[in-house]
């Protein structure tokens, strides 16, 4: 992530702090909210990591909100998006 998003020092600090302070909780899962400009680049990078064998676990890129209760509304622009499950 830091190799792809090189200029975001806030993100780098957060990633370093999370690695040091958040203990392993069972699954090797992480969550990261990134801006629209990085989603495509990260998706392509994740695909390459899987293709090369660097990562073997599934990677999910989803849409979500930090506090979904505050934005749950049938009139929201994302409520009409297709659900693939």
Q: How confident is the model at residue 82 (pLDDT cuts 50, 70, 90)?
A: low
Higher-confidence position of 26 and 52: 52
CA dist., res. 50 & res. 57, Å (int): 8
> Which of the residues 4, 17, 29, 32 is marked catalytic?
32
Average pLDDT (38-62) is 86
Instruction: Count the neighbouring beta carbons within 10 Å of the beta carbon of residue 45.
Output: 15
Please state whether the predicted TM-score (pTM) of the whole model is above 0.85. Answer: no
**Segment 4-29, tens digit of pLDDT:** 889 889 989 988 998 898 877 666 66
Structure tokens given for 6: 């090189």
Is 32 catalytic? The answer is: yes
**Statement: residue 53 has pLDDT above 90:** yes
């Amino acid at each position: 992530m830091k190799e792809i998003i090189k200029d975001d020092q806030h993100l780098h600090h957060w990633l370093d702090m999370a690695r040091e302070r958040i203990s392993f909780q069972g699954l090797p899962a992480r969550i990261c909210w990134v801006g629209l400009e990085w989603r495509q680049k990260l998706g392509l990078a994740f695909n390459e990591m899987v293709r090369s064998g660097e990562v073997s676990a599934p990677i999910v890129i989803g849409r979500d909100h930090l506090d979904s209760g505050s934005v749950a509304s049938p009139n929201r622009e994302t409520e009409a998006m297709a659900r693939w499950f």
